[in-house]
Amino acid sequence: MFLSKSLVPILKNIPSEAKIKSHKLMLRTGMIKQSSAGIYSWLPLGFKIMKKIESIVRLEQDNIGVQEILMPTIQSSEIWKESGRYNDYGEEMLRIKDRQNREMLYGPTNEELITEIFRNSIKSYKSLPQLLYHIQWKFRDELRPRFGVMRCREFYMKDAYSFDLSIDEAIYSYNKFFLAYLKTFKKLDLSAIPMAADTGPIGGNLSHEFIIIAETGESKIYTDKRIFGVNYSDTVVDESSLSNLRTTYDEFYAVTDEKFDQNEFNEKVSDDNKLITKGIEVGHIFYFGDKYSKAMNASVDKDGKKEFVKMGSYGIGVSRLVAAIIEAKYDDKNEIMKWPINIAPYHCAILPQVSKNDKSNLEKSLNIYNYLKSKNIDAIIDDTDEGIIAKIKKFNLIGIPYQIVIGKNSTDEKFEFAKVGEDLQFLSTDEIENIIKKDLKN
Ligand code: ATP
Ligand code: MG
């Protein structure tokens, strides 16, 4: 791919409306474009990243046996009246009327719709558990949309739902998601801490928010530092192993503002281990029992007896994650972004020095590009007329993990190569390929 032919509208100046580094970077590198307050178009660079995050989220859902479906964005008000949330949800819900004057809405979440699907499809307890998810746009008419895609009105979310016969089985389902979330965020190179949370308008009594530490986060957090050391790599998906993992995590004090209690904090955490900071909520899981199944009459037959199913719901902010990863990884002082290679929009940037009279470096670039492509390494060539320093700076900002500079120092066999933000070294295409391949494997 040639940069000159890509829709990557790089801005020279930092847009003044952007207050946090992720929003600044996303606008500067043309990842998104605001179309109205809190509503964005995703341009190629941003969209590629979001899609890669989405596929990691999907893989970890599939790994614990969740079935993927797709529900619509527009829902009927009827089911929300059944659950009682049509009024409760308030002004965050975007309400729409169709031409028949029917009350519709743009879904802010899907508990009602999935419960309706469940009650029409599943009759026997033998079909339980049912674990279902979809990845779909949501709309919440946030009072103060801000920070770009971090808190916007239309956003992309993975939401999953579990249906079980008993509370114990429902907690087992909950714990599967707990582990899947830890693994998902780890694959995104983020360290997310599960924190005991309030259940809010979704209702219920068991909930964890997954928070990543960031100065610009909107949640104030209070935690025991040792929680970062919990090891889940040996946890397998069986009931007791997962239950032990939950217990291990829950033993450490970790809460946001809403649940904070100074006395409890002092009692449970020594001063050395106290961490008070800010964080970004990237995921949220809930167990809420029969709150919706009772209200909406979703039950199964067990030995001739009607049992209301026990439910949970599990969200990940896929579009918010793009911004959250930038908050965690962008060095805004030196203007260097480092996308983990598994979600970077390209693996490698090829930066030839070109002038009006000499296009030979462009030819070399194309050869390297084709070679890398044949090895499944995805590169972009900056074929613009800018100087080499400007090109390097631009790609430091965009954050493609590797750069190959093709200029007066390169020979026919060796080129200047660097990991973004690090020193250049002379390497052959084979050596370059090996380094990138190794990173891709990790
Ligand atoms: P918040 O407290 O940040 O408003 P929430 O508790 O309302 O989040 P959930 O209903 O649990 O969020 O939604 C699941 C996930 O969707 C959140 O963890 C977050 O990552 C994402 N999300 C929620 N609201 C927004 C928003 N306005 N813009 C972008 N992502 C969002
Ligand atoms: Mg909210």
Q: From the first residue on, what is the mean pLDDT of each consecutive set of 10 residues in the chain (442 residues)?
A: 96 90 97 97 98 98 98 98 96 97 98 98 97 98 96 98 97 98 97 86 78 92 96 95 96 93 96 97 96 97 95 98 97 97 98 88 95 97 95 97 93 93 94 97 88
Q: What are the CA-CA distances from residue 115 to residues 106, 124, 162, 293, 306 (Å)?
A: 17, 15, 10, 7, 16
Residue 408 CB partners (closer than 8 Å, separation 6+): 353
Residue 164, classed as helix, strand or coil, is: strand
Beta bridge partners of 222: 255, 276
For 260-277, write each residue's pLDDT tens digit. Answer: 999 999 999 999 999 999
Of the candidates 230, 113, 242, 118, which has an alpha carbon nearest to the alpha carbon of residue 173? Answer: 242
Determine the structural domain holding residue 363 and report its residue range: 348-441
Rounded to the nearest angstrom, the distance between the alpha carbon of 41 and the centre of ligand 2 is 21
> Does residue 266 fall inside a structural domain?
yes
Q: Count up the domains in the chain and report the number.
A: 2
Residue 116 CB partners (closer than 8 Å, separation 6+): 79, 296
> Does residue 17 fall inside a structural domain?
yes
Integer Cα distance of 357 and 37 in angstroms? 46
> Does residue 160 fall inside a structural domain?
yes
Helix or strand holding residue 6 (H, E): none
> Does residue 1 fall inside a structural domain?
no
Select from 143, 207, 281 the residue to mutate for testing ligand 1; criterion: most ligand atoms less than 8 Å from CB.
Answer: 281
State the CATH number of the domain containing residue 400.
3.40.50.800
Are residues 191 and 145 both part of a single domain?
yes
Of the candidates 115, 143, 145, which has an alpha carbon nearest to the alpha carbon of residue 34? Answer: 145
Are residues 263 and 147 both part of a single domain?
yes
> Does residue 339 fall inside a structural domain?
no
Are residues 318 and 357 both part of a single domain?
no
For 147-192, write each residue's pLDDT tens digit. Answer: 999 999 999 999 999 999 999 999 999 999 999 999 999 999 999 9
Ligand 1: atom nearest CA of 316 is 15
Rounded to the nearest angstrom, the distance between the alpha carbon of 150 and the centre of ligand 1 is 9
Q: Cα-atom radius of gyration of the chain, to the nearest Å?
A: 24
Are residues 280 and 429 both part of a single domain?
no
Ligand 1 close to Cβ of residue 142 (< 6 A): yes
| End residue of a domain, out of 305, 331, 357 | 331
Are residues 306 and 368 both part of a single domain?
no
User: Global pTM?
Assistant: 0.97
For ligand 1, atom 6, the nearest C-alpha belongs to: 284
Are residues 117 and 76 both part of a single domain?
yes
Are residues 241 and 122 both part of a single domain?
yes
Ligand 1 close to Cβ of residue 134 (< 6 A): no
| End residue of a domain, out of 302, 331, 360 | 331
> Does residue 49 fall inside a structural domain?
yes
Are residues 359 and 224 both part of a single domain?
no
Q: What are the CA-CA distances from residue 19 to residues 69, 84, 142, 279, 288 (Å)?
A: 37, 38, 18, 16, 36
Select from 57, 159, 198, 320 the residue to mutate for testing ligand 1; criterion: most ligand atoms less than 8 Å from CB.
Answer: 320
Ligand 1 close to Cβ of residue 217 (< 6 A): no
Are residues 386 and 414 both part of a single domain?
yes
Are residues 229 and 356 both part of a single domain?
no
> Does residue 140 fall inside a structural domain?
yes
Rounded to the nearest angstrom, the distance between the alpha carbon of 341 and the centre of ligand 2 is 30
| End residue of a domain, out of 331, 363, 396 | 331
Select from 93, 136, 147, 157 the residue to mutate for testing ligand 1; criterion: most ligand atoms less than 8 Å from CB.
Answer: 157
State the CATH number of the domain containing residue 39.
3.30.930.10
Are residues 180 and 311 both part of a single domain?
yes
